[in-house]
């Protein structure tokens, strides 16, 4: 129960802040459908895996290691395919793309859920700041590498965040993707989440199938292991206040499950959702020119991994 009454009502979709992933998928028969979910080992990804399989779907469950993927799949009763994918490692991403393509899985949805947040000190790989690399570039590679596997009505759902509004003052620091010139942990996270949003927005204009869609979501604020890099005192405080004013994991996984599966969302594309309802992103989050520049720059980065 949230103490904030404004957070309690349902929006035009009939769902709202308090709706759970089970509630937004109630009555849906997803048997015969296949979804790929990244970051299944814990948090919102694990709940998404649980609920999609509960509704009859097969879930290709990605975790950083095959052991973690198998472990989480063993915890659900439904149909799962555990695979390893380390999103900061292009080799690992290419391997999982090959595995999925060679087995010719047809994907009704890709939920790009994995993420890291607010690393206190600058961390880099391939001369890129690690949140930009993991949250954005890794998912860019994975999703674009699997576009041919999407069904005619396949849906791509990118986990963005309200934190996309809290980025650097110029939105995306194209001249500082390594983070060397300046590094502010929350701004770097916000930048990566803005990238997730703009990726969905631009992808929606490039999908080959007219029924295919790409959208971004903010799941709410939920005390998951995403806070692992935060100050321990803040982490404890978040857990203490969590039952009073944050979403629980079941509620946090709702928006991505809704956008990935609900019939009411069919054909909606290039949008941003919060609490299972359409919402308005920041000024940068609506900037199609910025989205094009980001796409071109990311293609360039990815081409250098080859
Ligand atoms: N929780 C919130 O309040 C909140 C708010 C807004 C947006 N979001 C977004 O929601 C998504 C899910 O967050 P969550 O709260 O469920 O976080 P979480 O509990 O920390 O789960 C994140 C998942 O991502 C995986 N992951 C991290 N780094 C990875 C990498 N390099 N390669 C592959 N997988 C990796 C983690 O695997 P390991 O466990 O093996 O590290 C874990 O499975 C994130 O994209 C986050 O930005 C969350």
pLDDT band at 7 (very low <50, low <70, confident <90, very high): low
Alpha-carbon distance 268 to 272, whole Å?
10
Between 226 and 290, the higher pLDDT residue:
290
Between 208 and 116, the higher pLDDT residue:
116
pLDDT band at 242 (very low <50, low <70, confident <90, very high): low
5 has a pLDDT exceeding 50: no
* Domains of the chain and any CATH numbers: 5-303 (3.40.50.720)
**Over the stretch 170-223, which tens digit does the pLDDT of each residue have?**
899 999 999 999 999 999 999 999 999 999 999 999 998 889 999 999 999 998
97 has a pLDDT exceeding 50: yes
Kindly give the distance from the C-alpha atom of residue 126 to the centroid of ligand 1, in angstroms, as a whole number: 21
100 has a pLDDT exceeding 70: yes
* Ligand 1 pocket test target in 38, 44, 190, 223 with most atoms within 8 Å of CB: 44
Between 241 and 133, the higher pLDDT residue:
133
Phi, psi (degrees; rounded to nearest 5) at 60: -85, 110
1 has a pLDDT exceeding 60: no
Residue 30, CA distances (Å) to 36, 88, 146, 235 in order = 13, 31, 21, 36
Tokens of 86: 């380390």
The pLDDT value recorded for residue 9 is 84
Kindly give the distance from the C-alpha atom of residue 256 to the centroid of ligand 1, in angstroms, as a whole number: 13
147 has a pLDDT exceeding 80: yes
Alpha-carbon distance 41 to 64, whole Å?
8
Kindly give the distance from the C-alpha atom of residue 210 to the centroid of ligand 1, in angstroms, as a whole number: 30
* Ligand 1 pocket test target in 85, 94, 114, 133 with most atoms within 8 Å of CB: 114
Mean pLDDT lowest among 159-168, 237-246, 284-293: 237-246
* Max CA distance (Å), the chain: 52
Kindly give the distance from the C-alpha atom of residue 226 to the centroid of ligand 1, in angstroms, as a whole number: 6
**Over the stretch 21-47, which tens digit does the pLDDT of each residue have?**
999 999 999 999 999 999 999 999 999
Q: Spell out the SS3 assignment of 102-139.
A: HCCCCEEEEEECCCCCCCCCCCEECCEEHHHHHHHHHH
Alpha-carbon distance 88 to 140, whole Å?
11
Alpha-carbon distance 282 to 291, whole Å?
13
**Catalytic annotation, pick one of 17, 35, 183, 272:** 183
The pLDDT value recorded for residue 196 is 98
Sequence-separated (6 or more) residues with CB below 8 Å from residue 174: 293, 297
Give the residue whose CA is nearest to atom 44 of ligand 1. 115
Active site residue 183: yes
Q: Which atom of ligand 1 is nearest to the CA of 220?
A: 5
Average pLDDT of the chain to the nearest whole number: 94
As a whole number, mean pLDDT of residues 247-262 equals: 97
3 has a pLDDT exceeding 60: no
125 has a pLDDT exceeding 70: yes
Between 245 and 241, the higher pLDDT residue:
245
**Over the stretch 258-269, which tens digit does the pLDDT of each residue have?**
999 999 999 999
The pLDDT value recorded for residue 239 is 67
Kindly give the distance from the C-alpha atom of residue 20 to the centroid of ligand 1, in angstroms, as a whole number: 18
Alpha-carbon distance 203 to 188, whole Å?
22
Output the ligand 1 site: residues, CB below 6 A. 39, 41-45, 63-64, 68, 85-88, 113-117, 134, 159, 161, 218-219, 221-222, 224-226, 252
As a whole number, mean pLDDT of residues 107-122 equals: 97
Tokens of 116: 């890291």
Alpha-carbon distance 13 to 158, whole Å?
19
Listing DSSP states for the chain in one string gives --S-GGGSSB-TTS-BTT--HHHHTTT---TT-EEEES-TTSHHHHHHHHHHHHTT-EEEEEESSHHHHHHHHHTSSS-EEEEE--TT-HHHHHHHHHHHHHTTPPEEEEEE-------SS--EETTEEHHIIIIIIIHHHHHHHTGGGEEEEEEEEEE--GGGGSSBTTBS-GGGTTS-S---HHHHHHHHHHHHHHHHHHHHHH-SSTT-EEEEEE---B-SGGGGGS-HHHHHHHHHHHHHHSB-HHHHTHHHHHHHH-GGGTT--S-EEETTEEE---TGGG-HHHHHHHHHHHHHHHHTT-
The pLDDT value recorded for residue 8 is 66
* Ligand 1 pocket test target in 43, 194, 199 with most atoms within 8 Å of CB: 43
Is residue 197 a contact partner of residue 158, using CB atoms and an 8 Å limit? Answer: yes
As a whole number, mean pLDDT of residues 277-286 equals: 98
Residue 51 half-sphere exposure toward CB, CA atoms < 13 A? 27
The pLDDT value recorded for residue 131 is 98
């Amino acid at each position: 129960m949230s103490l904030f009454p404004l957070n309690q009502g349902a929006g035009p979709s009939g769902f709202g802040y308090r709706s759970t992933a089970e509630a937004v998928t109630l009555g849906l028969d997803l048997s015969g459908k296949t979804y790929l979910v990244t970051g299944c080992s814990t948090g919102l990804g694990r709940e998404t895996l649980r609920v999609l399989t509960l509704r009859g779907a097969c879930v290709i469950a990605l975790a950083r290691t095959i052991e973690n993927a198998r472990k989480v799949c063993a915890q659900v009763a439904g149909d799962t395919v555990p695979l390893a994918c380390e999103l900061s490692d292009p080799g690992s991403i290419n391997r999982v793309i090959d595995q999925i393509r060679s087995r010719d899985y047809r994907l009704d949805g890709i939920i790009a859920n994995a993420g890291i947040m607010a690393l206190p000190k600058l961390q880099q790989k391939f001369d890129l700041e690690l949140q930009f690399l993991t949250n954005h570039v890794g998912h860019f590679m994975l999703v674009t590498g699997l576009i041919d596997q999407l069904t005619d009505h396949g849906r791509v759902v990118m986990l963005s965040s309200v934190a996309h509004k809290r980025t650097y003052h110029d939105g995306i620091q194209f001249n500082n993707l390594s983070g060397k010139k300046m590094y502010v942990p929350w701004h770097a996270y916000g930048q990566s989440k803005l990238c997730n949003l703009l990726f969905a927005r631009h992808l929606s204009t490039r999908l080959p199938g007219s029924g295919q869609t790409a959208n971004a979501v903010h799941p709410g604020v939920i005390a998951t292991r995403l806070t692992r890099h935060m100050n321990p005192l803040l982490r404890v405080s978040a857990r203490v206040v969590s039952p009073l004013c944050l979403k629980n994991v079941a509620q946090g996984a709702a928006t991505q499950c809704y956008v990935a599966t609900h019939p009411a969302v069919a054909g909606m594309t290039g949008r941003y959702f919060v609490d299972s309802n359409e919402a308005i992103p920041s000024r940068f989050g609506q900037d199609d020119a910025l989205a094009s520049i980001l796409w071109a720059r990311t293609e360039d980065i990815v081409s250098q991994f080859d």
